[in-house]
Amino acid sequence: MSVLLKLWGAGTARTLRPIWMAEELEIDYELIPIGPRTGETQTKEFTSLNPKQKIPMMQHKDLNLSESLAICRYLQRNFKSKNIFLPDDEVSIAKEEEWCNFIYGELDETSLYVMRRHYDLKDIYGDSPIVVEACREYFMRQIHVVENHLSSSKTILKDGFGLADIFLMTCLDWAIFYEFSLPDNVAQYRDRISLRTAYQKAMKINYSN
């Protein structure tokens, strides 16, 4: 069945997330692969859809939705599939929420994205080796929480691959790009998840340009 779904944005770890989720859920979607710093997010058309002028962004029926976590969670709950575990009890829902907040808050925003500002984007935000090193140290401290957890689980939630795994994996790929050395359980986890067909397809789509 055809689904009227549009995803805006490609080329970053954050735009990969909804593309990957859509591929896992086998949703029929249209991708508009605009970039974050190409001027495309500042057009009148896009700004009318998302005044934040940020990607990723989703359109579904009358809903415009931004923020990668919100988009992925919406897709997970509205297009159910055996490929993505969907928590249905209070404890599992709360644990998924806890892990997603941890991954997004501590690994993405506090570590990798701050590092990105003074690593990839230093021409814009300024070169700061001290900030970059502090981010590296903080990331490694937090990733050991994940390392210990994965000693007894193949996926973040023991019931199966899901939303938190998509978020963690995109951060791990980002970390590899920044030349982090991942601890053993995390590295093995990344190797396993990278074999997923939907992941491989989403990577090609997201980074095609």
Q: Topology of domain 5-84+200-206, per CATH?
A: Glutaredoxin (3.40.30)
Same-fold call for 5-84+200-206 versus 90-196: no
Domain boundaries, the chain: 5-84+200-206, 90-196
Contact 156, 168 (CB under 8 A): yes
Give the residue carrying structure tokens 């340009």. 209
What are the backbone dihedrals phi and psi of residue 59, each rounded to the nearest 5 degrees, phi first?
Answer: -120, 130
Where does residue 111 rank: exposed (0-12), middle (13-18), buried (19+ CB within 10 A)?
buried
Q: What is the mean pLDDT of each run of 10 residues along the chain (209 residues)?
A: 82 97 97 93 95 97 96 97 97 98 97 87 80 95 98 97 98 97 98 98 95
pLDDT at 3: 54
Give the residue carrying structure tokens 């920044």. 178
pLDDT at 71: 98
Q: CA nearest 199: which of 14, 10, 22?
A: 22
Sequence-separated (6 or more) residues with CB below 8 Å from residue 162: 76, 84, 85, 86, 87, 96, 155, 156
Q: Topology of domain 90-196, per CATH?
A: Glutathione S-transferase Yfyf (Class Pi); Chain A, domain 2 (1.20.1050)
Question: The tokens of 172 are what?
Answer: 């791990």
CA 145, 141, 188: angle at the middle one, nearest 5?
55
pLDDT at 1: 46
State pTM to two decimals.
0.94
User: Cα(first)–Cα(last) distance of the chain, in Å?
Assistant: 29
Q: How far is it, in rounded angstroms, from Cα 152 to Cα 157?
A: 11
